Amino acid sequence: MNTWMLYFSDRNRPAGKRCLGVAIFDLESESVSDAVRRAWDLDINPGGEVFADWWEPGSLPPIPPALRDRLISATEAEEAGLIQAAAELTPLQREIAQNTFDQLVAEHQAKHHTKRR
């Protein structure tokens, strides 16, 4: 079981206010698409761009259960030392993240017959 951290951001917001939240959960997958789908399933995907990373068991210090399986605020993430330089993605990383996100939104909408907010 891998621990995933998804950092959601909106580059159109002012600097310092770009983080929409961080989601931390365990998932038996190494696929970013699976992780984003899991965030949708947990109803903790606020939209925006996503930077995702995962760690194998035992490679991270313990993360308190209160920070798992929900969207935590930028403040909570900073206080826990979880915010990385996700907002400083390269243009190519941004394009890949946005294309992946757009594809997953379309799949989610088709599955749940919803419209993008």
Q: 57 versus 90: which is more confidently predicted?
A: 57
Per-residue pLDDT of 93-103, as tens digits, reads 555 555 555 66
């594809």: which residue's tokens? 103
**Closest C-alpha to 89, from 2, 10, 32:** 10
| Structural domain spans, the chain | 2-112
pLDDT tens-digit map of 72-85? 987 887 777 765 54
Dump pLDDT digits (tens) for 15-66. 778 888 899 999 998 888 899 999 999 999 998 888 888 877 777 777 889 9
Dihedral class, residue 33 (left if φ above 0, else alpha if ψ from -120 to 50, else beta): alpha
pTM given for the model? 0.68
